[in-house]
Amino acid sequence: MNHPSTPAIAVHGGAGSLDDSGTSGLGPDAPREAGVGRAASAAWELLRRGGSALDAVVLAASLLEDDPTFNAGTGATLTSAGHVELDASLMDGATLGAGAVACVKDVKNPILLARAVLERSPHLLIVADGASAFAREMGIPAWPNERLVIPQQRARFDASAGVKPTTVGGGTIGAVARDRNGHVAAATSTGGTFLKRPGRVGDSPIIGAGTYADDRLAAVSSTGHGEPIIRVTLARLVADLVGAGRSPGEAAAEGIRILGARVAGQGGVIVVGPSGDPGFAFNTPAMARAWSDGSGNIRTAL
Amino acid sequence: MNHPSTPAIAVHGGAGSLDDSGTSGLGPDAPREAGVGRAASAAWELLRRGGSALDAVVLAASLLEDDPTFNAGTGATLTSAGHVELDASLMDGATLGAGAVACVKDVKNPILLARAVLERSPHLLIVADGASAFAREMGIPAWPNERLVIPQQRARFDASAGVKPTTVGGGTIGAVARDRNGHVAAATSTGGTFLKRPGRVGDSPIIGAGTYADDRLAAVSSTGHGEPIIRVTLARLVADLVGAGRSPGEAAAEGIRILGARVAGQGGVIVVGPSGDPGFAFNTPAMARAWSDGSGNIRTAL
């Protein structure tokens, strides 16, 4: 059990396969473990200095978006049309405020645009060209789609003729945090599934599915096959289980059990409860993750 | 209490103001009450003949989309850019299958497109231009945006210079049903809030917020100010309350109480539980609604 005033951070780099070759599109394992560790360390340092849970999850998510190892921001998977479309959301457990964007093609850090939706618009979710227009109004510069595409993802796309689209959005990233004031927050960002149809939106930008945070319950970020995750409202489900008295680890495990049992879904979740204890569960072979232990050390696992 | 083999239908025509002048954009009251009654009658007849809950809610929603009285399909409110953008979703409680579209500009019946997403794509939610492209592939013809705009909505837009955008999406439509086999389904469709920013998406196409259906819980359709509804995952919340033993009416009332208390949200819900009993609640002045009683008579109220 964490001390009440000890902050907590947990991040994930997507549920998927163990794949040291990187041929799955998830990227090799070692950089993934290092990447989630770096993001968690930076966010933990911010929390340790008194920063808010919302600032911490946005920092972690933006670092993971910029890390080409992950399927979010730079390095995202390509759609069936050969370009990148990005989705992201965040939620502040103190206020239940949330912001999200989906199907965004020209923004380097969609999590920062989602934050602008939360803080500087009357809306919660803005999609497609409307999200680009909002970004420009907010002073977020246009970022060419080609600059989001890394050579490995382009090569994977070029080799995909006749390949069936994947259904597991490996490499989605997310972060959950509790700050010294006891507030929790969650953030999630993704490029979605490989070879998705343009316009397809998964769970990551959907409040209640990919992301949920409520100081009375918990903060949760999901990863995996988006459609089943939406059908069971996975993030809300796991948060409610913490609210009903389960530990974050038990709630995560039960949420993933329900995901598999009721809708044959594959994925994972990270959770931080009001106590600051983290929880993780996944029914895929691996989920890159990092978290702060009660002493403030950052631990990582695949 | 309905007999177990008696089907049940409930529809809403949006939470909002009582307004016999029609100047709110909701349209005058009498046509709204008549419109929800007609949709409920048609869906009830389908259920009575052994049709499925999913077919019934799609029929009711498509009739309400075609009725210019309501803010969905033909007759939708205009965005700040002066055009129509439509959102819709549906969910099948028997399978937890769901389909949704958002920010669609060129389809007459978005609920039919949402059904195609459910039944004929591997995805759950498709938005904007990608949704239009999918519609064409499905044989759903392009419908000019101007044909979705009725003179009353154009006049309301033309008179709106300097007017603050509304936050309550009055006139959203929805339907919930239980069929003779005990399966439930829900559908919701909207034009969103008046003068919304292009690309803004509210709760209607969000599974868990605007729409939820699970045979083990209930079927729910929400209406009102979309952003707060998403923040409390209203449809899932109300369905869970039925699952926890509340009657549909109690669950609806408690969901709307939480919507108001936690996020200052204004709106309404309709619910049908596994027993077939309907429930309604709203914290706006009115919500046009119609439902079948245990004898199969259609009742209406504002």
**pLDDT tens per residue across span B182-239:** 999 999 999 999 999 999 999 999 999 999 999 999 999 999 999 999 999 999 999 9
Examine the pLDDT at A53 and tell me if it is beyond 80.
Answer: yes
The angle, 0 to 180 degrees and rounded to 10, between the axes of the packed helices B128-137 and B110-120 is 70
Whether the CB of A199 is below 8 Å from some CB of chain B: the reply is yes
Q: Across the interface, do B208 and A208 touch by the CB < 8 Å criterion? A: yes
Q: Across the interface, do A129 and B96 touch by the CB < 8 Å criterion? A: no
- B104 pairs with which residues across the strands? B86
Nearest-by-CA chain A residue for B193? A123
Q: Which of B102, B128, B208 sits opposite A129 (nearest CB)?
A: B128
C-beta atoms surrounding B268 within 10 Å: 29
Mean pLDDT value of segment A281-288 = 94
The residue among A136, A190, A200, A215 with the most chain B CBs within 10 A of its CB, best to mutate, is A200
> Of B78, B101, B51, B89, which is closest to residue B157 (Cα–Cα)?
B78
**pLDDT tens per residue across span B53-81:** 999 999 999 999 999 999 999 999 999 99
pLDDT score of B295: 87
Greater confidence (B1 vs B278) lies with B278
pTM: 0.95
**Mean of all residue pLDDT scores within chain A:** 93
Examine the pLDDT at B170 and tell me if it is beyond 90.
Answer: no
Whether the CB of B131 is below 8 Å from some CB of chain A: the reply is yes
Residues of A in contact with B199 (CB under 8 A): 126-131, 133-134
Any idea which residues of B carry the catalytic annotation? Answer: 172
Residues of B in contact with A227 (CB under 8 A): 122-124
Greater confidence (A263 vs A162) lies with A263
pLDDT score of B133: 98
Q: Across the interface, do B129 and A227 touch by the CB < 8 Å criterion? A: no
> Of A111, A124, A268, which is closest to residue A189 (Cα–Cα)?
A111
What is the share, in percent, of chain B residues with pLDDT greater than 90? Answer: 86
pLDDT score of A85: 98
Mean pLDDT value of segment B93-98 = 98
Q: Which of A131, A199, A230 sits opposite B130 (nearest CB)?
A: A199
Position B294 confidence tier, pLDDT thresholds 50, 70, 90: confident
Q: Across the interface, do A208 and B212 touch by the CB < 8 Å criterion? A: no
- B267 pairs with which residues across the strands? B224
Give the type of residue at A106. Answer: D
A258-272, B6-20, B276-290: least confidently modelled range: B6-20
Whether the CB of B243 is below 8 Å from some CB of chain A: the reply is no
Examine the pLDDT at B28 and tell me if it is beyond 90.
Answer: no
Mean pLDDT value of segment A146-167 = 87
Nearest-by-CA chain A residue for B263? A96
Contact between A229 and A209 under an 8 Å Cβ cutoff? The reply is yes
Phi, psi torsion values for A262, nearest 5 degrees: -95, -35
**pLDDT tens per residue across span B257-266:** 999 999 999 9
Q: Which residues are CB-contacts of B101 (< 8 A; sequence separation ≥ 6)? A: B86, B87, B88, B89, B107, B110, B113, B114, B117, B125, B126, B127, B131, B205
Examine the pLDDT at B21 and tell me if it is beyond 50.
Answer: no
Whether the CB of A126 is below 8 Å from some CB of chain B: the reply is yes
The residue among A167, A204, A227 with the most chain B CBs within 10 A of its CB, best to mutate, is A227
Q: Which of A97, A128, A196 sits opposite B129 (nearest CB)?
A: A128
Whether the CB of A194 is below 8 Å from some CB of chain B: the reply is no
SS3 B30: helix
Mean pLDDT value of segment A77-105 = 97
Whether the CB of B165 is below 8 Å from some CB of chain A: the reply is yes
**Mean of all residue pLDDT scores within chain B:** 93
Q: Across the interface, do B134 and A226 touch by the CB < 8 Å criterion? A: no
pLDDT score of A166: 65
Q: Across the interface, do B226 and A196 touch by the CB < 8 Å criterion? A: no
Any idea which residues of A carry the catalytic annotation? Answer: 172
SS3 B71: coil
Examine the pLDDT at A1 and tell me if it is beyond 60.
Answer: no
Position A241 confidence tier, pLDDT thresholds 50, 70, 90: very high
The residue among B92, B95, B103, B216 with the most chain A CBs within 10 A of its CB, best to mutate, is B103
Mean pLDDT value of segment B252-271 = 97
Examine the pLDDT at B145 and tell me if it is beyond 70.
Answer: yes
Examine the pLDDT at B25 and tell me if it is beyond 60.
Answer: no
Whether the CB of A119 is below 8 Å from some CB of chain B: the reply is no
Mean pLDDT value of segment A140-151 = 97
Nearest-by-CA chain B residue for A259? B96
Whether the CB of B130 is below 8 Å from some CB of chain A: the reply is yes
Q: Across the interface, do A233 and B226 touch by the CB < 8 Å criterion? A: no
Residues of B in contact with A209 (CB under 8 A): 207-208
Mean pLDDT value of segment A141-158 = 96
pLDDT score of A168: 58
Whether the CB of A230 is below 8 Å from some CB of chain B: the reply is yes
Examine the pLDDT at A22 and tell me if it is beyond 60.
Answer: no
Whether the CB of A83 is below 8 Å from some CB of chain B: the reply is no
Whether the CB of B208 is below 8 Å from some CB of chain A: the reply is yes
Mean pLDDT value of segment A3-16 = 86
Q: Across the interface, do A127 and B102 touch by the CB < 8 Å criterion? A: yes
Please count the residues of chain A: 302
Q: Across the interface, do A128 and B232 touch by the CB < 8 Å criterion? A: no
**pLDDT tens per residue across span A171-228:** 799 999 999 999 999 999 999 999 999 999 999 999 999 999 999 999 999 999 999 9
Q: Which of B96, B134, B197 sits opposite A231 (nearest CB)?
A: B96
Whether the CB of B126 is below 8 Å from some CB of chain A: the reply is yes
Examine the pLDDT at B271 and tell me if it is beyond 70.
Answer: yes
Nearest-by-CA chain B residue for A206? B206
Residue pairs spanning A and B at CB distance below 8 A: 136
Mean pLDDT value of segment A264-280 = 95
C-beta atoms surrounding A94 within 10 Å: 17
A15-29, A41-55, B284-298: least confidently modelled range: A15-29
Nearest-by-CA chain A residue for B121? A197
pLDDT score of B20: 42
Residues of B in contact with A265 (CB under 8 A): none
Q: Across the interface, do A130 and B206 touch by the CB < 8 Å criterion? A: no
Position B30 confidence tier, pLDDT thresholds 50, 70, 90: confident
Q: Are strands B200-201 and B184-190 parallel, antiparallel or unpaired?
A: unpaired
Q: Across the interface, do A227 and B134 touch by the CB < 8 Å criterion? A: no
pLDDT score of B22: 44
Domains, in order of start, for chain B: 8-301 (3.60.20.30)
